[in-house]
Structure 1
Amino acid sequence: MTDILLIAGMWLDGAAWDAVVPELAALGHRPVPLTLPGQGDGAATATLDDQVAAIVAAVDASPERPLVVGHSAACTLAWLAADARPDGVARVALIGGFPNGDGKAYFDYFEPVDGAVRFPGWEPFEGPDSADLDASARARIEAAALPVPAGVTGGIVRLTDERRFDVPVTLVCPEFSPADARGWIEAGDVPELARAKHVDYVDIDSGHWPMYSKPAELARVLAAL
């Protein structure tokens, strides 16, 4: 039984994995969906460092080295966990995203309003990102979406331990293909993964939120790692 730490991307908490958790458990693993500081707990002043500390605490609490899964923007959080605990993380799985480099802001695509970044609606995600989500799934995601404190989105990524490049990485490719991802890395668009020593690619036929649209398939992909 392997611990699989699950970190959802922007606006989502641990409940985003509700359909994935029983599938992973049935496959013999212990899924641990994480709800981080600032995700609906009233901690409007939560920072990126607070979220990283919560993930590192979950890594430390695992009886064996866990698989750390980051989705979308939280791919950076998973990579920060590998940086903080390069000997404590068995593998990092990145779903639909890539880790930011040292000195970059965590998520600066939308401006905060009143100290938080709120879900902007579906218009920015039209096309391959959301093509496999019906109206019901979109409504569920939007209803679950939580404002993310500006102290998280504007936090600066700090990477300090080059042993992170020894941690195996699997890129789970939903709305883009493994060939796309390889091309971006080889072109220098993802410097962190260009330096990673062990990068694998797995395709999954879904949009950007496979935990909602393909939970059983996503669970099989993660369990196989």
Structure 2
Amino acid sequence: MNNKNSHSSSLDHGVTRRKFIGTAAGGSAALLTGGLASLLKPTASAAGFDFVEATIPQLQAAMASGALTSAGLTMGYIKRIQSLNPTLHAVIEVNPNAVAIATALDNERRAGNVRGPLHGIPLLVKDNIATKDNMQTTAGSLAIYGSQVPADAPLIQKLRAAGAIILGKANLGEWANFRDDEAETYPLAVGWSARGGSTNNAYDLSYTSWGSSSGSGAGAAANLCAAAVGTETDGSITGPSAVEN
């Protein structure tokens, strides 16, 4: 998921997405914790580069010119996660090695080795996608917390080979929405997991992010990553994409 198709993508009545993020703190003051309001601003920067709403090609251009490093960008996203996620519940876990991986990829770039368009780009991946690293893969469940996967999922292997940074694991409807039969009575159950809680909508904290790829949708919408990976069976990507756009 990448909701950054344009810096001027709009909500109804001509309110741009960037302006909405900048003004949401006032409109939802009763719902926000103190730390969130200060970060819901139109811009945020890494080494002086405004990465909020930047597309992957724009991020690549900034890194190619030296205006931005992957390590700086990764730290910028981690800062947003630390400040916004306690309210959004979009991210279950941050990769403790993300900055070190980004630094290594910066060194590759300086040596003239750019693997491709995802080189140095931080991504969130849904927590039902196996990553054999220092993060858990639990599908949002406490039942298998602490277990170890034998290998990266093929998708993750390809992303790492392409130079992408697995920034963290996104929240989801637990077990990819095992509670979906409760959706009509309990709408928030669709994006709920025991590990991550209920994922809130980045545009309206009182509304669901839908699911089951709830954290992937909210994480991309709130600029907690450059893009996010979800999984689709029957609305698990299209639902969050619709309500987080």
Structure label with greater radius of gyration: 2
Larger relative contact order, structure 1 or 2 (CA cutoff 8 Å, min sep 6):
1
TM-score (norm 2): 0.31
TM-score (norm 1): 0.33
The structure richer in strand per residue is 1
